[in-house]
Amino acid sequence: MSDTNAGPEVLADHDSAEASGHSEKLPALALGAIGVVFGDIGTSPLYALKESFVGHHPLVVDQEHVFGVLSLIFWTMMLIVTIKYVFIILHADNKGEGGSLALLALIRRHLGESRLTPLIAALGVTATALFYGDAIITPAISVLSAVEGLTVVSPGFAAWVLPISIGILIALFAIQSRGTAAMGKLFGPVMVVYFAVLAVLGVAGILQHPGILWALSPHHALHFFALDPKLAFLALGSVVLSVTGAEALYADMGHFGRRAIVVSWLYLAFPCLMLNYLGQSALLLGNPEAASNPFFLMAPEWARLPLVVLATMATVIASQAVISGAYSVSQQAVQLGFLPRLKILQTSAQTAGQIYVPLVNWMLLFLVILLVLGFGSSSSLAAAYGIAVTGTMFITACLLGVLTFAVWKWNPIVSGLLTAAFLIVDGLYFASNATKIPDGGWFPLLVAGVVFVLLTTWAKGRRIVLARLAEDSLPFDLFLKSIGDKVRRVAGTSVFLSSTADGVPPALLHNLKHNHILHERVVIMTVAAQSVPHVPPEVRRTVDDLGNGFFRIVLRHGFMDEIDVPAELAQEDRASGPFKAMDTSYFLSRQTLIASSRPGMAIWREKLFAWMVRNSASAMEFFKLPTNRVIELGSQLEI
């Protein structure tokens, strides 16, 4: 059972997108953002326009449909990415951090407990679960779509597409344990070159058919719907592929800050992407057969092989971004009490955010390869792609409504109209993608469903266990009176980790029952997660003198903080002097859970929770306790 617990809030609010403190200058941060944040959305030209015309709901390649689809792509980028994410949601930071769980923590911190709390929590957890589905599909479709460019170079390469794609993916996941610092230095420059090539190819195409620029007018999108409402609605499922990765703008805000992301999007990524879509569309006007792969056919024949190499590098970078995001989301979920302890390794001594989670890494690789082999092509995978993305966007719009109404206190009319507009747009895209569920959209929903069950089972199971422990807990005052001077004291310090900041931890009672002895100094320590990314050192620890050599220390940490209990104690001298490493012993309690018919959860969920407890990472590793100074005391607990 995890020895962490959400503790009381002690932090003042100073929410600012720059609160995380980015010491680098804006150009350097913007370059980094180009490499990490825009990898996913930057590779969408490889498949978005192609899927609109030759995907599961093919369109006639004529001027009306080309203009209609291009107009939809442009205004989708304007409404969803530029207005919704860049201009509004990037301001919804949780002390500099973004993402579904950070947004959920921000709202809950401001609203406290209310009737809406369970619904808001469910929305945040659902968005997180959908993200894992996206994290599996993104590497598969991105790498496949790039390597498929080889078939444009020569049809003879068709048999090599799957083996090469799988080889690239295995290599990508295999090097994750070494960290992304070295690769990260290459990401920005490579993506800048990639975006520049997108723009150059696009401009070349536009010069062939300058009239394509008229397609940016919104009336062409409206005309498309008037011409054929059903096909236009279904086309939304492919058009939305042009904004896959928009959620990364928000999720990666903590790494680069709002300003860097805004600058990168408005002055480089957005213009280059639109120029490329304009160029592809111009190509289709002059050569409708090019719809089979307009991205690569737009390039002259001599440039196609180098373009395949460059596109493959860009898709690897896009995949790296979403893999790193899966690690960060998993860490947040552990710290906020939605997942059991996982083995989390720091891959950089300088940058705390660079982590590696082995279990998540190998599970992602297994499922990604399963996807590549099962679907076989980027076109088949496109049916599975949009549902997770649009689902997350729709939930973000719901949470944005709560944020503008209840937290930011906007004018109710403005907030209502804005929320309604985003819900309608995102709802239409989600509904369009829902039509692709039988063709592959079921996969991310299945993954999200499994993840949702795991997240909610762990969160509810923890609450039940804490309630059961509280039932059997002995008030500390009564405990102190009962032992008096009867118990022998020995030199040294014992630290008992406790799930709650009151009562007597089970490990202390069991130790006393079996060993009939106590150390001169006894510390009861609670590690309490806060709904902020980082907790400043000056408010991280509180110390209470309980008398008779007993102290209670509460260590508060943010959901992005690394937890190192010995290092924290080494900085503490308010509990009757400093802590010496070789004089301090750590006592942990480990409950063996027994599923029962007591009120709480269904039996199958209780068994699942017990299995998760048994397979969670050791508290000793998680809290970085010295292996030779730890004693674990076990007990059975009926839930």
- Asked whether the beta carbons of 519 and 494 are under 8 A apart, the reply is yes
Q: What is the mean pLDDT of residues 363-380?
A: 90
pTM of the model as a whole: 0.82
Q: What is the pLDDT of residues 285-331, one digit of tens each?
A: 999 999 999 999 999 999 999 999 999 988 888 887 788 878 888 88
Residue 28 pLDDT more than 70?
Answer: yes
E-state strands within 13-79: none
Q: What is the mean pLDDT of residues 183-208?
A: 87
Question: Read out DSSP for 444-491?
Answer: HHHHHHHHHHHHHHHHHHHHHHHHHHHHHPPPHHHHHHHHTTTSEEEE
Q: Rg of the chain over CA atoms, in angstroms?
A: 27
What span, in angstroms and rounded, lies between the C-alpha atoms of 203 and 211? 13
pLDDT band at 162 (very low <50, low <70, confident <90, very high): very high
pLDDT at 14: 38
Residue 473 pLDDT more than 80?
Answer: no
What span, in angstroms and rounded, lies between the C-alpha atoms of 124 and 559? 15
Residue 4 pLDDT more than 60?
Answer: no
pLDDT at 487: 86
pLDDT at 236: 93
Cβ atoms within 10 Å of 624's Cβ, excluding its own: 13
Burial of 338-373, coded b for 16+ CB within 10 Å and e otherwise, reads bbbbbebeebeeeeebbbbbeebbeebbebbbebbe
Q: What is the mean pLDDT of residues 32-47?
A: 84
pLDDT at 18: 40
Q: What is the pLDDT of residues 83-117, one digit of tens each?
A: 999 999 888 877 777 777 778 888 888 877 777 78
Q: What is the mean pLDDT of residues 417-437?
A: 92
The tokens for 235 are: 């086309």
pLDDT at 164: 94
pLDDT band at 24 (very low <50, low <70, confident <90, very high): low
Q: What is the mean pLDDT of residues 421-445?
A: 91
Query: What one-character DSSP code corresponds to residue 97?
Result: B
What domains sit in the chain, N to C, each tagged with a CATH number?
28-393+434-459 (1.20.1740), 475-638 (no CATH)
Residue 500, CA distances (Å) to 30, 317, 544, 554, 571 in order: 43, 42, 14, 9, 22
Q: What is the pLDDT of residues 451-471, one digit of tens each?
A: 999 999 999 998 888 888 777
What span, in angstroms and rounded, lies between the C-alpha atoms of 616 and 609? 10
Q: What is the pLDDT of residues 570-593, one digit of tens each?
A: 998 888 889 998 999 999 887 778
The tokens for 15 are: 């929410």
Q: Which residues pair with 490 in a beta bridge?
A: 519
Mean predicted lDDT score pLDDT of the chain = 85
pLDDT at 252: 74
Q: Which residues pair with 40 in a beta bridge?
A: none
pLDDT at 182: 52
pLDDT at 3: 43
Q: What is the pLDDT of residues 608-618, one digit of tens each?
A: 998 998 888 88
Q: What is the pLDDT of residues 505-541, one digit of tens each?
A: 888 888 888 888 899 999 999 998 887 878 888 889 9
Residue 200 pLDDT more than 50?
Answer: yes
pLDDT band at 179 (very low <50, low <70, confident <90, very high): low
Type and span of the H or E element at 117: helix 117-147
Q: What is the pLDDT of residues 404-420, one digit of tens each?
A: 888 888 999 999 999 99
pLDDT at 66: 95
